[in-house]
Structure 1
C-alpha cells in the first residue's frame, strides 16, 4: 500500500459533537484531503439537515458515517490512536506537532488502521477519553487567541496527513513541459543583453563614455530573475517597440470621450 492509499485507513472520530453543522464541515474538510472514514461517538444531533447542508459535495462522507455509543467501539481495530487536544495536560508526554503526528499516522496506516480523535466543541476530550489514545497532538495556534472551530482543527490535521502522504506535490500546471517555458540558451541571453544595451544608449540612459557597472548590474538582475523563453521574447518585444515605435497615441486619463 502506498502513502496515498494509507489515507483510506485513517478514520476521523468525533466525540459527542454538539453542532450538526460541524459534522458536515468536518466531512468537507476530510474529503478535500482524501480522507473518507468518519465515526461519530454519541453525537447530540445526528442525522440532521444542517450536517448535510454544510457538507456540500462531501455528502457521501456524512451518509457513510458510522454512529457508535462509545469511544472504545469507535477505536476498535486501530493500531495507533492520536488525540487532538488544545488543553495542556499535567500527565503524559509532550504533545506531538501536527506534522510529526501526521508522518507517524501515515506510516502506521500503511499496514494497520489509525484513528484521529476530536472531542466535543465546548469541553474537548476528557481525561478518560485521552487514556484510550496513544499520543496527543496540538495545533500551535496564536497564544493570544487559540480557539479553533472543530472542523477547522480537522482541516489543519487532515492537511498535514495529506502532506505527509504526498511529500512532493505535482504542479497544477506543468508549464515546464511546454517548449515556450524552457530556459533560453546562453546565445539568446547574449542577444538580449546586446539589444538592451543598444536601446539604453539610444535613449541616453546609458552613457557609453561612462558606463560604470550598469550593464553588469542588469545582467545580475536578469540572471536572478531567470526569464524563460516566452518572457525573454516579451522583453525583446518591449525593446523593439522602443526602437521602432508604431506611433500610436496612448490616450491619457481625462482625454475626450468622457463627460
Structure 2
C-alpha cells in the first residue's frame, strides 16, 4: 500500500519531527506539509532522530487539494466525529476498520489537521473517508504525532498470518486417538471422563492445523 502522510497547518515542530519518526517506524516516507505554521528547525530534527531525511524531502503545498491531487483515496482524521455534519458520518470509520475499506494498490493520503483545531469541515469534505481513533476519558483528542503512529500501525503494520483451524476430521481423529491412548493407560481410572475432557479442550482451544498434525503424530502408533 502506497501511503502519504499529509499534515495540514502543523503548529509545533516537535510534533512534525515525532510524526516523521512514526512514519519511519512503519516504512512510510512520503510526508506532505500544507501551509505549516511553524519553522522546521533544531527541535524538529531532534525529535525526528533518524527520520530527519523524511523532513528534508517533505513536499510543501499551499492547499490540501494540491497536496492530494495525485492520490486515489484521501482519508481525513478526527478525534471528535460529532463536530462534523451528519451526512459525513456515513463515511466515518474507526481506524481499525480503515484497512478493510482501502485498495492496497492505490495511493492513499492520510490527512491530519493541526493541533489546535484539527481539520475544518471544508477540509473533511475533500476527503473520501474520515477515520477516528476511539478514546476514553475526558481527553478525547490525541496528540498529533500519537495519532499518526496509531493510524499507521493499523494501516501498515504486519498483521498476524491468517488463522488456519484444524478440520473437523482432524479434531475427531485426534479425539479418537487420545481415547485409545487413555484406554491403554492403566493409571487413568475414569477413562471416559478424561477422553471427553480432552475432546472439549480441543474444541475450545481452536487448535490450528499445524498443532493438530503435531498431536496426531504424537498419539499415532
Say yes or no: TM over 0.5. Answer: yes
Q: Which position in structure 1 is the counterpart of 2:72?
A: 79
Number of equivalences: 197
Q: Match of 2:53, SS? A: helix
Q: Match of 1:133, SS? A: coil
Q: Deviations over 1:165-195 (max 9, x none)?
A: x4x448xxxxxxxxxxxxxxxxxxxxxxxxx
Structure 1: distance between partners of 2:94 and 2:18: 23
Is 1:57 aligned to 2:50, yes or no?
A: yes
Q: Which position in structure 2 is the counterpart of 1:125?
A: 119
Q: Which position in structure 2 is the counterpart of 1:89?
A: 84
Normalised by the length of structure 1, the TM-score is: 0.60
Structure 1 residues 144 and 54: CA distance shift in structure 2, 3 A? same
Structure 2: distance between partners of 1:161 and 1:141: 18
Structure 2: distance between partners of 1:44 and 1:150: 14
Q: Which position in structure 2 is the counterpart of 1:150?
A: 144
Q: Deviations over 1:215-235 (max 9, x none)?
A: 99xx99xx99xxxxxxxxxxx
Please identify the structure whose Cα radius of gyration is greater: 1
Q: Is the 8 A contact 1:17 1:120 kept in 2?
A: yes
Structure 2: distance between partners of 1:85 and 1:114: 17
Structure 1 residues 37 and 144: CA distance shift in structure 2, 3 A? same
Structure 1 residues 130 and 37: CA distance shift in structure 2, 3 A? same
Q: Is the 8 A contact 1:103 1:161 kept in 2?
A: no
Runs of 4+ in 1 over 3 A off after TM superposition: none
Normalised by the length of structure 2, the TM-score is: 0.69
Q: Match of 2:7, SS? A: strand
Q: What residue ranges of structure 1 are gaps of 5+ in the alignment? A: 1-5, 171-214, 225-259
Q: Match of 1:96, SS? A: strand
